[in-house]
Amino acid sequence: MTNTNEFINHLASKLGRPTPIETPPPVEISVPQYRLSNTEERASIFLQNWQALGGKGAIVKSDNDMLQCLKEWFGDLPVTWFKDNPQALIAWDMLPSIAESAFSTLNWPLTRYTQSSLDPRDRYSIAAHAELGITSSDLGIALSGTIVMNSDPLRGRAVSLLPPRHLAFIETTKIRNNLFEVLEEISALGTPPAAIEMISGPSRTSDIEMDLSIGVHGPIEVYVVVTDN
């Protein structure tokens, strides 16, 4: 094991000067960033890019829209799933109220991931056997069709990872133009959460003969509902 000071001093000697005490002045960065003119446009471009990556998406404006959208995507599947597995829908502890009320109207009971078991391995197993993982999303990126999720105690990171399908809810006003704006906003919060997950479409690989294949490890199907109040 090498001592930190020794390690750092060695680098300073290679750079031919003592290690600066103050943070070096940041470099100037000037790149023209991608910008759209309004929330509506951002939501629509976000959705377009998300779909281009192979995700499903819709903008909903009312409770009724939400019900229609979920029914259209999943139909009677959840009812079939519940027959084999009452924990088929695994979710964060809290979802946007429009989503919570839609699930209760549809009578699709949600299993709350963090409360599903005290033992982490059991929780992973429950999430891995679920059919659909349901989360919200803190921010979105229009340019890349990306949803951004900060970890916290009420939110399992595995919910968006282990089930074969992932459904996320995001408000139109949370969609930013580009990655820069998202990182700027997260920085402003102070210490970042333990994990920030940025997800752009389903799990993909081209490792076998450069042939694109979906769902090698992460979710195979990904859905986003953009809520517009």
Partner 1 sequence: MTMYNLTTDQRVDKALADNFLRQATRRATDRLRNNKYKASDELGNWEEWRNAGETIRKHVIANLDFYLHQLIEQMEKRGVHVHLAKTPADAVGIVRNIVREHDAKNVLKSKSMISEEIHLNHALEEDGAAAVETDLGEYIIQIAGEPPSHIIVPAMHKTRQQVADLFEPIAGHALSSDTPTLTRFVRIQMREQFLRGDIGITGCNFAVANTGSIVMVTNEGNGRMVSTLPRVQITLMGMERIVPSFRELDIMLNLLARSATGQRLSSYTTILTPPKKSADSDGPEEYHLVILDHNRSEILGDKLFRTALNCIRCGACFNVCPVYRQLGGHAYGSVYSGPIGSVITPLLEKDWKKWGHLPYFSSLCGACTEGCPVRIPLHDLLVKLRMRKTQSGHTPQVEQQIFKAYRYLFTREKTLRRALRLGAHLQWPFVRNHRITGGPAPLSNWTKSRTLPMVAPKPFMQIWADLNNKR
Site for partner 1 in 175-204 (CB under 8 A): 178-180, 183-184, 186-187, 191-204
Q: Which of 60, 141, 224, 226 binds partner 1 (CB under 8 A)?
A: 141
In this structure, what DSSP letter does residue 207 have?
T
Give the nearest distance from C-beta 68 to partner 1 in angstroms. 29
Choose which of 219, 221, 227, 229 interacts with partner 1 (CB under 8 A).
219
How far apart CA 135 and CA 220 sit, in angstroms, is: 16
Give 96 or 164: the residue with its C-beta nearer to partner 1.
164
SS (H, E, C) 53-122: CCCEEEEECCHHHHHHHHHHHHCCHHHHHHHHCCCCEEECCCCCHHHHHHHHHHCCCCEEHHHHCCCHHH
Q: What is the three-state SS of 133-186?
A: EEEECCEEECCCCEEEEECECCECHHHHCCCCEEEEEEEHHHEECCHHHHHHHH
- Does residue 153 belong to the site contacting partner 1 (CB under 8 A)? yes
Give kind and range of the element (H or E) at residue 189.
Answer: none
Residue 176, strand partner residues = 141
Q: Is 206 left (phi over 0), alpha (psi -120 to 50) or beta?
A: alpha
Query: In the set 37, 76, 83, 209, which binds partner 1 (CB under 8 A)?
Result: 209
Q: What angle do CA 191, 157, 146 make, to 5 degrees?
A: 80
Residue 2 C-beta: closest distance to partner 1, Å? 4
Binder of partner 1 out of 38, 84, 107, 210 (CB under 8 A):
210
Backbone angles phi, psi at 15, to 5 degrees: -85, -10
Per CB under 8 A, 107 contacts partner 1? no
Q: How many other CB atoms are found less than 10 A from the CB of residue 98?
A: 17
Of 40-48, 74-82, 102-110, 114-122, which part binds partner 1 (CB under 8 A)? 114-122
Is 73 a binding residue for partner 1 by CB under 8 A? The answer is: no
Q: How far is the CB of 47 from partner 1 (least distance, A)?
A: 15
Minimal distance in Å, beta carbon 228 to partner 1? 24
Q: How far is the CB of 106 from partner 1 (least distance, A)?
A: 26
Interface stretch with partner 1, choices 12-20, 71-79, 95-103, 132-140 (CB under 8 A): 12-20
The two beta strands, 175-176 and 139-141, are parallel
Q: Sketch the per residue contact string, 24 through 63, with partner 1: x for CB under 8 A, - otherwise.
A: x-xxxxxxx-x--------------x---x----------
Binding test (CB under 8 A) with partner 1, winner from 156, 163, 167, 174: 156
Residue closer to partner 1 by CB (options 57, 66) is 57
